[in-house]
A and B are shown apart, each in its own frame.
Chain A
């Protein structure tokens, strides 16, 4: 069972289900492309699977709406375009990127971790005085490379999972041992191929090694958001373990005790709402 090279893996990505057009449009509009809000709302509404998931979250207690919203248009009016756009992207990605069959890999746990990281990144935006949307997207996509590895090479990935269990190591180390590279490298290559914004590519590439990322970029924040999601046990996996945290990157964020505690509570509340998307 010879593992593929990174180039081979990236070459096979075309064989994967594509990102839904709505998700790409949403990403483009986030990157500042001139998007017509009304036409995007109309396009989202046409995709019932996505719209239903978005409305489920929009009507959760987290948003505290006085009345139920029943259409994407109403959700945009009440919650604002940017909030709905984030929800749409999450729903589109969750709905459309299946992991295929890989014994030992739980798609449900994967999405719980990913959504947890995305909402932790969103929660970090306020104390760090950063725009929430790019952080949310970076969180949502941070482990996308893992999904590619699982979908394209399920047998190899089962070996990764087995090795991690045997050695009680993290999946990332086991990926490097089996493939010779990890999900961060795959995710970054994929994001480059899909022409994602540079700050997102940077975050995907360096969320485990923020010291190599662009200074002041998103990598350090996603590094911490990933850990916050794990610490809150949002994935609910018995043998999961905390990633190693890079002290300088964490110190560089300058979060005091009070802010960090608030981020934990905020992340938990957001997650309780966003998880409705998965059910």
Chain B
């Protein structure tokens, strides 16, 4: 996932997930990060004069699968001489899972 700054009038906003909390000029949090935006939220923000929002950008599933495979191949390259060693097993599997989680 990556972030994208969008204008409050952007038609794709409803249903998007906030990447950062929305705060007013005084720094008070109006909406928390992680919230899925509805029309009602957006109306309320417009009334308060909020102009831009930072939302999570949905990544194409195929692109994600490509990134995951690239990360996996890189790990297997690093472990090219040691992937079968008993001492390497825990770290190899933990790092594979860690990268998998990162590319979700």
Residues of chain A having any CB pair with chain B under 8 Å: 168, 224, 227-228, 230-233, 240-247, 249-250, 255, 257, 260-261, 264-265
Cα A265 to Cα B98 with chains together (Å): 8
B78-A233 in contact (CB<8A): yes
In whole angstroms, how far apart are the Cα atoms of A224 and B92 in the complex? 12
* A231→B82 contact, CB < 8 A: no
- Bound Cα distance A246, B82 (Å): 11
Jot down 12 A-B pairs with beta carbons below 8 A, ordered by A.
A224-B91, A227-B91, A231-B79, A231-B95, A233-B74, A241-B81, A241-B82, A242-B78, A244-B81, A260-B90, A264-B98, A265-B98
Judged by a CB distance under 8 angstroms, whether B80 is at the interface is yes
Q: Does B88 contact A (CB under 8 A)?
A: yes
Q: Which of A230, A231, A247 has the most CB of B within 10 A?
A: A231
Q: How far is the CA of A249 from the CA of B90 in the complex (A)?
A: 13
How many residue pairs link A and B with beta carbons under 8 A? The number is: 60
| A257 touching B94 in the complex, CB below 8 Å, given contacts A240-B78, A241-B78, A242-B82 | yes
- The verdict on A246 contacting B87 (CB below 8 Å), with A231-B95, A261-B97, A261-B98 known, is yes
Given A231-B92, A242-B88, A264-B94, 12 new contacts (CB under 8 A):
A168-B80, A227-B88, A228-B91, A231-B75, A231-B95, A241-B78, A242-B79, A244-B85, A244-B87, A250-B91, A257-B90, A260-B94
Kindly state whether residue B86 has any CB partner on chain A within 8 Å.
yes
Q: Chain B nearest CB: distance from A98 CB in Å?
A: 28
Q: Judge whether B78 and A230 touch: CB under 8 Å.
A: yes
Q: Is the CB of B80 within 8 A of A245?
A: no
Chain A residues closer than 8 Å to B88, beta-carbon distance: 227, 242, 244-245
**What size tier do the contact residues of chain B reach?**
10 to 19
- Bound Cα distance from A240 to B88, whole angstroms: 16
**A247, B86: Cα distance in complex, Å:** 6
Question: In the complex the two chains form, what is the Cα distance from A264 to B96 in whole Å?
Answer: 11
A residues in contact with B92, CB < 8 Å = 231
Q: Are A231 and B91 also in contact (CB < 8 A) when A241-B80, A265-B98 are?
A: yes
What are the nearest 9 A-B pairs in CB distance? A245-B87, A247-B87, A231-B95, A247-B86, A260-B94, A264-B98, A242-B82, A242-B79, A245-B88
Q: Which of B52-104 contact A (CB under 8 A)?
A: 74-75, 78-82, 85-88, 90-92, 94-95, 97-98
Are A255 and B90 in touch, CB under 8 angstroms?
Answer: yes
Report whether B95 and A232 are in contact in the complex, using a CB–CB cutoff of 8 Å: yes
